[in-house]
Amino acid sequence: MQIKRNILLNPGPATTTDSVKLAQVVPDICPREKEFAGLMKGLRNDLLKVVHAPADQYTAVLFCGSGTINIDICLNSLLPEGKKVLVINNGAYNTRAVEVCQMYHLPHIDLKSSVFERPDLALVEKTLQENDDIAMVYCCHHETGTGVLNPIREIGALAHKYGAIFVSDTTSSLGMIPLDVIKDNVDFCMASAQKGLMAMSGLSFIIGREDIIRASKNYPTRSYYTNLYLQYEYFEKTGEMHFTPPVQTIYATIQALKEYFAEGEEAKFARHHRVYEAIHRGIDKLGFETVIDPKIESGLVVSVKYPDDPNWDFEKVHDYCFERGFTIYPGKISTSNTFRLCALGAIDEPDIVAFFESFTEALDTFKIKHR
């Protein structure tokens, strides 16, 4: 089977290998079969390994949904009665967590700061000191909206110092930037299969401390479908998801994890970094500017400023590149006009070189100035 290879430079879903795509083509199976429960058991164990989580302390709980389901679940399920969430907010994905708090009427503090910078740790500590009812600190690891990498190890240490749990949205870093939940002080992390693991969309998962999930049995319940304890308990009892799982995505994820371990954590990290550096080189060569200081960038997303040229038209350039198999993505910074080029997926440096050929052609076609 010949499958056209597209280079996705959007922040997920990412370019996948053909072997992952084809892993979905399997005989039909009822997901209530023991055989399928066995597959999910192995998958959950492998997910722990990706983040170096000891199996006697952490568990992986699977959900059917896009990555946002994890944000919803952690916030609505892990807050005890009368306690508060502290959201350290320097971007669009942390803002999403604030919106979830608002929807569930959860007491929370929105510690908002510049989207162009890392959060101020002294201010985080001061907030924790002044609010002894904070039971959960929440912060996105890699803020996909800008490309900023947040200092989660330090934030997690502060959360623990003041007796709170630390939940990190690692959706756009897990499986790409090495993460060690113990060393990084992370009680709960999360992702969906289509980002760092390079599988398909539809499967999301939370990896977290089993003792805290057990304790959450007695916390106020705020949702039926997206309650962490309920799903965890069902897995423990039956080995199955409470409701219908995304069957084919699970097959793809199992294949993707095989490929993840075969490539290796460090080698994969290095490959994404090569892609990222090639993106920066291409941008510099054209005389375009980026908006985030590379010193605080994740190495996975580059936010590029629109050029100061009346002929610039993101849609036209996008369409030109799209027709040639390259997908570029709009920015998510409300105060400046940007687009994003991302280093996720099964791609490498030559793909970026090829992309910049098409991109430069697009600029020339639409008479957009460049160096």
Ligand X SMILES: *Cc1c(COP(=O)(O)O)cnc(C)c1O
Residues forming the site for ligand X (CB under 6 A): 11-12, 66-68, 93, 140, 144, 169, 171-172, 192
CB 225 within 8 A of CB 51: no
Q: What are phi and psi of 111, to 5 degrees?
A: -85, 85
- 172 or 358: CB nearest ligand X: 172
In this chain, which residue has its C-beta nearest to ligand X?
Answer: 67
Q: Examine residue 294 and say whether the peptide bond preceding it is cis (omega within 30 degrees of 0).
A: no
- 186 or 286: CB nearest ligand X: 186
- 71 or 321: CB nearest ligand X: 71
- 66 or 337: CB nearest ligand X: 66
C-alpha to C-alpha distance for 318 and 329, rounded to whole angstroms: 8
Find the shortest distance in angstroms from Cβ 13 to ligand X.
8
Find the shortest distance in angstroms from Cβ 284 to ligand X.
25
Tokens in use for 273? 């970094």
Contacts of 215 (CB under 8 A, 6+ apart): none
- 17 or 170: CB nearest ligand X: 170
Contacts of 232 (CB under 8 A, 6+ apart): 59, 61, 210, 213
- 140 or 241: CB nearest ligand X: 140
Q: How far is CA 62 from CA 59, 219, 227, 247, in A?
A: 10, 20, 12, 12
Contacts of 25 (CB under 8 A, 6+ apart): none
C-alpha to C-alpha distance for 231 and 245, rounded to whole angstroms: 12
Find the shortest distance in angstroms from Cβ 203 to ligand X.
11
- 91 or 282: CB nearest ligand X: 91
Find the shortest distance in angstroms from Cβ 166 to ligand X.
16
Angle 68-77/92-103 helices, nearest 10 degrees? 50
Q: Which of 302, 299, 311 is nearest to 339 (CA)?
A: 302
Find the shortest distance in angstroms from Cβ 268 to ligand X.
18
Find the shortest distance in angstroms from Cβ 251 to ligand X.
20
CB 67 within 8 A of CB 92: no
Q: Which of 145, 144, 149 is nearest to 195 (CA)?
A: 144
- 96 or 209: CB nearest ligand X: 96
- 147 or 282: CB nearest ligand X: 147
**Cα angle, residue 155 at apex, residues 300 and 12 outer, rounded to 5°:** 25
Find the shortest distance in angstroms from Cβ 158 to ligand X.
21
Find the shortest distance in angstroms from Cβ 280 to ligand X.
20
Find the shortest distance in angstroms from Cβ 168 to ligand X.
10
CA 319, 65, 301, 270 dihedral sign is: negative
**Cα angle, residue 185 at apex, residues 182 and 190 outer, rounded to 5°:** 85
Secondary structure class of 52 (helix, strand, coil): coil
Residue with tokens 């896009």: 66
